[in-house]
Structure 1
Amino acid sequence: MSQSPALPDALELGQRCIRAFTQVVPATLCAFYRIDEQLQAQHFSLHRMTPHMHDAYLQRYRHYDPLRPRNCAAAGSPVLSLHMGMAQQGRHETEVYQGFLQRNGVCDVVEILASDSQRPIAGLSLLRDASLGRFSPDELTTLHALQGLLEIAAQAPYSQSDQRLAALTPREQEIAWLLREGASNKAIAQHLGLGLPTVKTHLINLFRKTAVGNRTELVKALFL
């Protein structure tokens, strides 16, 4: 009897969604996240977003974000552009958040939400810099068409390795997932836009947190 295919963990699910959506609608930075019962984003899976930017967002700017889950849910649309979100909040909040985005080279953002029958359960942020420009109306229409796939993915079951991954930072989770795929330090650095010394530092921290001595043991400890 053949074994059932392994269920994806939350990080892998996020990375799969990011890859699928950005193949159709390109983005410079991405974040997939779960939404708790208080409509707060958590358990982020990041793509090309620096830890400094993500930490600053969580600590100082998330409350100014016009596209945070509570606002998107209130707007009644599963796909919301930055312009649409900012139109629903005050001038001060808009200026503060625009300043944060500009300092990080972001010119536009689109949020896609997935819901079950009761509330939003997951979201995907697509961010663009000036090289890609703002999202066009046609691209927003395409994202509306793809939103159903995000909803299906977000409601699918996933593996119990998430509890082990929860102790790691979002960046460490990204690296752990890439290690599971067999990526070298150089490949990890290129994929995440990091320097090799930074990747090595993250690996040391991962070994320490999981009490292992090498990459193979790390993958076994987190995913098997």
Structure 2
Amino acid sequence: MISTHSLNSPLPNAHELGQRCIGAFTRVVPATLCAFYRIDAQLQAEHFSLYHMSQQMHEAYLQRYRHYDPLRPRNCVAAGRPVLSLHMGMAQQGRHETEVYQGFLQRHGVRDVVEILACNASGSPIAGLSLLRDASLGPFRPDELNTLQALQGLLEIAAQAPYSRHDERLEALTPRERQIAWLLRDGACNKTIAQQLALGLPTVKTHLINLFRKVGVNNRTELVSALFL
């Protein structure tokens, strides 16, 4: 559940901003897995915020499959569409790349994908949102694509809004450790963390032990205080 903030609350960090965007879009157009990310000057996706996507799948994507992705930022920009479906993206790349990427998606049970890009005032892409569906939800319908097109402007507003960046305390953690730390700050129990990050409970406990050791604390309360207060 995404918490609401008063007007006097501190600016959201990059992870919170991503989770808010994911929550808003998936309430209107459901998705099985999601990823919000920033786009650098070289049109490379970075600083991912994940929803129900396993770290194993995400790391496999980054290490072996992102260059086959027909919906990576560079391809979306070349297509000239702020909202691009998997079918549209695959129609613009070679057969080999398409087969490799389809194999990756199928291994993870993904049936369809839609990419939504946000640009700044000068037209340069600065953020993106990936919505992925499994067989239970099926392909994105034309009316849903139209809805996402209508909502795309809201993503641009959110992506250009001020947000706080990670300080040195969080930068010292791995991406997975940061995800767990943010969930702990929001009061999540081990079971909730496991569900949100698609991890087993023993894995969550191992991450917590490593977090406590790395930050130099003995419990969850001390960890949240050391990282966020």
Query: TM-score under structure 1 normalisation?
Result: 0.94
Instruction: Return the letter of the residue paired with 1:83.
Output: H
Q: Name 1:35's counterpart in structure 2.
A: 39
- Structure 2 equivalent of residue 201 of structure 1: 206
**Tell me, what secondary structure is at the counterpart of 2:53?**
coil
Q: Deviations over 1:176-219 (max 9, x none)?
A: 11111111112222233322111111212222332322212222
Once the two structures are TM-superposed, the CA of residue 174 in structure 1 deviates from its matched residue by: 2.1
Measure how far apart 1:135 and its partner are.
0.4
Among residues 51, 73, 78, which one is paired with 1:74 in the alignment?
78
User: In structure 1, what is the equivalent of residue 94 of structure 2?
Assistant: 90
Deviation at 1:172, TM superposition (A): 2.3
Q: 1:137 and 2:164 equivalent?
A: no
Counterpart contact for 1:45–1:170, Cα < 8 Å: no
Q: Sequence identity, in percent?
A: 80
Deviation at 1:14, TM superposition (A): 0.6
Q: 1:106 to 1:163 in 2, by over 3 A?
A: farther
Could you list the runs of 5+ residues in structure 2 that have no partner in the other structure? 1-5
Structure 1 counterpart SS, 2:136:
coil
Within a 5 Å distance, the mapping from 1:104-123 to structure 2 comes to: 104-118=108-122, 119-123=124-128
Instruction: Name the CA distance, whole Å, in 1 between partners of 2:38 and 2:131.
Output: 15
Total equivalences in the alignment: 223
CA distance in 1, matches of 2:132, 2:7: 39
What amino acid is the match of 1:147? Q
Deviates most, 60-69 or 185-194: 185-194
* Whole-angstrom distance in 2 between the partners of 1:157 and 1:213: 34
The amino acid across from 2:28 in the alignment is: V
- How far is the alpha carbon of 1:168 from its aligned partner? 3.1
**Aligned: 1:154 with 2:156:** no
* Pick aligned residue for 1:187 from 192, 195, 198: 192
- Cα 1:73–1:221 shift into 2, 3 Å: farther
Contact residue 14 and residue 165 of structure 2 kept, 8 A: no
Kindly provide the amino acid, as one letter, of the partner of residue 85 in structure 1.
Answer: G
- For the Cα contact (< 8 Å) 2:83–2:114, is it kept in 1? yes
For 2:185, give the aligned amino acid: R
Aligned to 1:48: 52
Q: Cα gap change, 1:59/1:156 in structure 2, threshold over 3 Å: closer, same or farther?
A: same
**Deviation string, structure 1 residues 65-106 (Cα, Å, up to 9, x no partner):** 000011111111111000000011111100100000001110
Distance 1:101 1:176 in 2: 29
CA gap of 1:173–1:86, structure 2 versus 1, over 3 A, is: same
CA RMSD in angstroms, aligned pairs only: 1.7
Aligned to 1:128: 133
